[in-house]
């Protein structure tokens, strides 16, 4: 849309921070990787390089009444980087510096545009480890991970992004700068504003610096792969492994549809009648013993085949097969990815219900995810050019999300609510909790500048 004279003058105040107002350029910043979510083209894209420039952007936006959508790499899957109406996108891609790595205090400080994999590699050079490992680790950014409280494949042992965030620098909607948290081993002064901002999906402020906790580098991981003739057998194995408390650092599952898709893409040699595959890793000094115990649980649950690799390179190849799950399913057609989490003992019930949904709606649905913490990613394949196909996909998506709640779970384990699931948030939260969350948002952004339409229904 054309920029009016008043807004043009305001953009002029920002100088080189304005990346573009050209519709051909701004269209590239209009949405994330989510499907079937509302989106519009911003009238400008702002790309600050430092906290002061972010502050200037938000101060002027607040004055002008602009709505601001903060965007990291645009790799999100919930529509949290989408806007509607008249708005600007604030892209953090130029804020990509690793400010410091402190091996004594075991912490790192990074700007929000740093790619997560790059941070992991940088601290590894100093014998340290940043555990959060989302599937998008090679292209998602620290700022986006903080915004959604991203998880990943190591969550079963190490937890999610928020478990490693010690402090933040945040610019509020009116341009004021706030520092939260600490850089000490302990500290409990005041409200925990750090973890209020973590997972807030751009609705409470713009994160401009992140301080994260690091761990000593673990031992090289060993990998186990187990195949099963039925989902029920795989479920029994998951329950046995998690119930035993063995310290696996990863426990992943892929169903038949996903395995076949990965095999077509990468020629991994999976048997076509395999109903499910479990992938486990352990990175302790006693990894061989831990995986021997896991193998015993899998055998007792009826595994068709169990193999433990002692070659880290072979383990990396198996891990790559897991990372190919979504790209492989994408080859089957248009896709809509769900993200739900249920108690680990009810994973099989969820998978069986998803199979029923797929049959009822006449759709292909592949499922993969983090069996160790109950976080599944049903991926619905449909034809986006067919109105009936889109409707069936949305029905399936809603039914799966409802099943997750019915099984005692949650509507999102790691991708966030965004726009895709905002109608579901009120179904998961009680009325008082929802009121309190709205009140917090209104207190920090009374003008509704930051990412309106995200998280909550209007």
Bridge partners of 223?
281, 309
Q: Are 160 and 149 in contact (CB under 8 A)?
A: yes
**pLDDT tens digits, one per residue of 369-406:** 999 999 999 999 999 999 999 999 999 999 999 999 99
What is the per-residue pLDDT for 266?
85
Binned at pLDDT 50, 70 and 90, residue 312 comes out as confident
Token pair listed for 177: 């700068």
The beta-strand segments (E) located in 274-387 are: 276-282, 305-309, 334-337, 340-341, 364-370, 375-382
Same fold, 5-91 and 222-406: no
Tell me, what DSSP letter sits at residue 373?
T
For residues 177-200, average pLDDT = 95
What is the per-residue pLDDT for 1?
55
For residues 227-252, average pLDDT = 93
Q: What residue spans define the domains of the chain?
A: 5-91, 98-216, 222-406
DSSP character string of 27-46: GGGS--S-SS------SEEE
**pLDDT tens digits, one per residue of 254-272:** 999 999 999 999 887 888 8
Options 3.20.20.70, 1.20.1250.20, 3.40.50.2000, 3.40.462.10; CATH of 222-406: 3.40.462.10
Residue 127's Cβ-side half-sphere holds a number of Cα atoms within 13 Å equal to 3
What gap in Å lies between CA 198 and CA 206, rounded to an integer?
11
% of the chain exceeding 90 in pLDDT: 88
Residue 440: exposure state from Cβ atoms within 10 A (0-12, 13-18, ≥19): middle
Could you identify the residue written with the tokens 């029923």?
356
Binned at pLDDT 50, 70 and 90, residue 458 comes out as low
CATH code linked to domain 5-91: 3.30.43.10
Binned at pLDDT 50, 70 and 90, residue 2 comes out as low
Residue 39, pLDDT > 60, answer yes
Q: Are 139 and 32 in contact (CB under 8 A)?
A: no
For residues 155-184, average pLDDT = 96
Residue 245, pLDDT > 70, answer yes
Counted residue by residue, the chain has a size of 458
Binned at pLDDT 50, 70 and 90, residue 279 comes out as very high
Q: Are 365 and 379 in contact (CB under 8 A)?
A: yes
What gap in Å lies between CA 46 and CA 63, rounded to an integer?
16
Token pair listed for 419: 């726009």
What is the per-residue pLDDT for 202?
96
Phi, then psi, of 306 in degrees rounded to 5: -135, 130
Phi, then psi, of 381 in degrees rounded to 5: -100, 130
For residues 353-367, average pLDDT = 96
Options 3.40.50.360, 3.40.50.300, 3.30.465.10, 3.40.50.670; CATH of 98-216: 3.30.465.10
Token pair listed for 331: 């080859």
What is the per-residue pLDDT for 314?
76
DSSP character string of 175-220: S-EEEEE-SSS----S--HHHHHTT-TTSS-EEEEEEEE-EEPPPP
Q: Are 161 and 149 in contact (CB under 8 A)?
A: yes
């Amino acid at each position: 849309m054309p920029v009016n004279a008043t807004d043009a003058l305001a953009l002029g105040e920002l100088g080189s921070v304005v990346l573009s107002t050209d519709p051909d350029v701004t269209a590239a910043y209009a949405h994330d990787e989510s499907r079937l979510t509302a989106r519009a083209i911003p009238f400008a894209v702002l790309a600050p390089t430092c906290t002061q420039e972010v502050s200037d952007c938000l101060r002027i936006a607040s004055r002008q009444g602009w709505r601001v959508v903060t965007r990291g790499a645009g790799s999100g899957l919930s529509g949290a980087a989408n806007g509607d109406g008249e708005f600007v996108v604030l892209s953090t891609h130029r804020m990509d510096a690793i400010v410091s790595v402190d091996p004594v205090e075991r912490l790192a400080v990074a700007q929000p545009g740093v790619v997560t994999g790059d941070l992991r590699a940088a601290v590894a050079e100093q014998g340290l480890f940043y555990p959060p490992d989302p599937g998008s680790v090679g292209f998602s950014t620290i700022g986006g991970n903080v915004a959604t409280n991203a998880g990943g494949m190591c969550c079963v042992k190490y937890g999610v992004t928020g478990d490693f965030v010690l402090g933040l620098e945040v610019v509020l909607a009116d341009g004021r700068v706030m520092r939260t948290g600490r850089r000490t081993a302990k500290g409990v002064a005041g409200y925990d504003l750090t973890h209020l901002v973590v997972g807030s999906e751009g609705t409470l402020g713009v994160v401009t610096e992140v301080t994260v906790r690091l761990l000593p580098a673990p031992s090289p991981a060993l990998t186990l792969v187990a195949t099963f003739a039925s989902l029920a057998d795989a479920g029994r194995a998951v329950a046995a492994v998690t119930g035993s408390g063995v310290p696996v650092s990863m426990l992943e599952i892929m169903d038949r549809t996903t395995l076949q898709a990965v095999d077509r893409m990468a020629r991994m040699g999976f048997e076509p009648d395999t109903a499910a595959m479990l992938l486990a890793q352990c990175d302790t000094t006693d990894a061989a013993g831990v995986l021997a115990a896991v193998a015993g649980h899998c055998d007792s649950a009826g595994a068709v085949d169990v193999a433990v690799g002692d070659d880290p390179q072979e383990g990396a190849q198996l891990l790559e097969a897991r990372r190919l799950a979504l790209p492989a399913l994408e080859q089957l057609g248009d896709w809509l990815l769900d993200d739900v989490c249920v108690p680990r003992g009810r994973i099989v019930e969820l998978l069986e219900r998803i199979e029923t949904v797929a049959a009822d709606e006449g759709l292909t649905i592949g499922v993969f995810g983090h069996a160790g913490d109950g976080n599944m990613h049903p991926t619905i394949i449909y034809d986006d050019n067919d109105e009936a196909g889109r409707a069936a996909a949305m029905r399936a998506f809603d039914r799966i999300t409802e099943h997750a709640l019915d099984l005692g779970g949650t509507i999102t384990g790691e991708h966030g609510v965004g726009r895709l699931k905002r109608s579901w948030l009120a179904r998961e939260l009680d009325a008082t909790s929802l009121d309190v969350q709205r009140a917090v948002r209104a207190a920090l952004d009374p003008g509704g500048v930051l990412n309106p339409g995200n998280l909550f229904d209007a």
